[in-house]
């Protein structure tokens, strides 16, 4: 095939898209800029600092105190940028962590990949479902890596669960039940304010962005998860983790139908999103999911996660417990209403005795429950390690833009059902919520 100027330029563009924007520094460390340096972002930075082959070199945040803490954590070499676009314009930066309020995610991720940066975006990937496909398309067009931060599916516990499920040990899985329950102000996202927080230390306009214009509010700035303007509440902050795990373990794409109810019962002074939420998701794979959360009780433990099959159940809470089913038919109360001769004849049948009279079986051992615990680093560390590996190999990890879009879309379906008081459906042809 003859090499034309056009084909040469196209090949050059493809090669550029296949490597980080700066091809890494001379020491082969991925140069990372952090966009948003709040509490979760600080945990992500700690994970990066625990891993070799990377260097946090830049940060931007709307509150000066977070920038100070980042410099204390990372070191004096850190460069502070006035806005996120200047981080993206810096050709020395290979990748960015986007850990801002949800309403900023889509704009920042698309701008980042368009600037040649790989992106680790904290969950949820999107503030609205339609943004997911925009991000997916932008990542494909630019050849950039986008990984979403629902770190649980990078844990050995969830990989063990997937192994058990694929081995068929649960039999036919027809129901999954999962919950997040809390009973504290902090658990309900009503966080304390830093003592120096004021219009002098908080850039209100930088925080708002495209959100509705409102007067300066420390409550909205530091407790943004409590407000529809910036967050999807329980669904996008908590349920998105559960849906990510379900999709990973069950090789599922999305629920076909979702219905949900949500109410604000208790924490009314600093929020407009529900503190109690219940949802039912029906998957075409042949199982139904029950999700629930309340910020008003945690006696049954903060989290629970049951994957229920005909041959066994997996509990994902404080590790992994596999519990095999041990069930036997018992029709005695029915058969004892028959004439005595018919009852006696019924139990003479060897198949009936095998199924219904286990105490008459030949003695044998039965495999019981198994427990698998977790030791070592928090799943955030290997999850971030996968991202760093992807920036080098150009091979996306499982939780790429498409997986992040679909997990977040579950949360958006739940919230739409609550808001519109109706069932919401997924369009598998368009990979989006049905209008």
Give the residue extent of every domain in the chain.
Answer: 12-152+383-393, 330-365
Please report which confidence band the pLDDT of residue 2 belongs to, taking 50, 70 and 90 as the band edges: very low
Secondary structure E strands in 78-150: 79-80, 95-98, 118-122, 146-149
Least confident of 2-16, 70-84, 254-268: 2-16
Structure-token pair, residue 173: 């899985």
For position 411, what pLDDT does the model report? 98
User: In the beta sheet, which residues pair with residue 433?
Assistant: 426
Residues 310, 172 contacting (CB under 8 angstroms)? yes
Asked if pLDDT for residue 269 goes beyond 90, the answer is no
pLDDT digit string, tens, across residues 124-165: 999 999 999 999 999 999 999 999 999 999 999 999 999 999
State which H helix or E strand residue 140 sits in: helix 130-142
User: In the beta sheet, which residues pair with residue 281?
Assistant: 258, 289
Map residue 179 onto helix, strand or coil. Answer: strand
Residue whose pair of structure tokens reads 């945690």 in the numeric block: 298
Task: List C-alpha distances in Å: 146 to 36, 113, 123, 158, 292.
Answer: 17, 8, 12, 21, 29
Alpha-carbon span 289 to 285, nearest angstrom = 11
Alpha-carbon span 69 to 37, nearest angstrom = 9
CATH (residue range 12-152+383-393): 3.40.50.720
For position 14, what pLDDT does the model report? 37
Q: Which of 223, 205, 222 is nearest to 272 (CA)?
A: 223
């Amino acid at each position: 095939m003859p090499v034309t100027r056009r084909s040469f330029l196209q090949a050059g563009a493809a090669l550029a898209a296949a490597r980080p924007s700066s091809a890494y520094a001379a020491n082969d460390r991925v140069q990372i800029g952090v966009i948003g340096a709040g509490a979760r972002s600080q945990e992500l930075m700690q994970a990066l600092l625990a891993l070799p082959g990377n260097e946090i070199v830049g940060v931007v945040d709307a509150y000066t105190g977070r920038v100070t803490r980042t410099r204390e954590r990372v070191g004096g070499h850190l460069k502070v940028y006035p806005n996120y676009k200047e981080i993206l314009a810096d050709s020395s930066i290979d990748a960015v962590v986007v850990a801002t309020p949800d309403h900023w995610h889509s704009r920042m991720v698309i701008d980042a990949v368009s600037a040649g940066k790989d992106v680790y975006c904290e969950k949820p990937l999107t503030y609205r479902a339609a943004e997911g496909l925009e991000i997916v398309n932008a990542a494909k067009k630019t050849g950039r890596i986008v990984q979403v931060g629902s770190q649980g599916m990078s844990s050995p516990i969830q990989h063990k669960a997937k192994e058990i499920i694929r081995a068929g040990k649960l039999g036919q899985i027809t129901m999954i039940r999962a919950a997040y329950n809390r009973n504290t102000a902090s658990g309900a996202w009503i966080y304390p304010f830093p003592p120096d927080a004021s219009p002098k230390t908080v850039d209100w306009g930088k925080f708002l962005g495209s959100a509705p214009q409102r007067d300066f509010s420390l409550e909205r700035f530091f407790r943004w998860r409590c407000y529809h303007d910036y967050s999807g509440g329980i669904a996008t902050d908590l349920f998105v983790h559960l849906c990510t795990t379900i999709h990973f373990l069950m090789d599922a794409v999305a629920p076909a139908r979702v219905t949900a109810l949500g109410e604000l019962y208790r924490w009314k002074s600093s929020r407009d999103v529900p503190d109690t939420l219940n949802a039912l998701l029906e998957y075409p794979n042949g199982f139904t999911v029950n999700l629930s959360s309340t910020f008003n009780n945690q006696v049954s433990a903060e989290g629970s996660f049951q994957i229920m099959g005909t041959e066994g159940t997996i509990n994902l809470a404080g590790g992994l417990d596999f519990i095999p089913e041990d069930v036997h038919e018992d029709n005695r109360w029915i058969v004892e209403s028959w004439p005595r001769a018919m009852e006696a004849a019924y139990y003479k049948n060897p198949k009936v005795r095998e199924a219904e009279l286990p105490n008459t079986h030949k003695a044998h051992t039965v495999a019981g429950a198994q427990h698998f615990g977790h030791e070592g680093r928090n799943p955030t560390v290997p999850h971030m390690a996968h991202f760093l590996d992807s920036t080098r190999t150009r091979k996306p990890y499982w939780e790429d833009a498409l997986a992040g879009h679909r997990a977040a879309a579950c949360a958006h379906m739940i919230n739409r059902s609550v808001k519109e008081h109706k069932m919401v459906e997924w369009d598998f042809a368009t990979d989006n919520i049905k209008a």
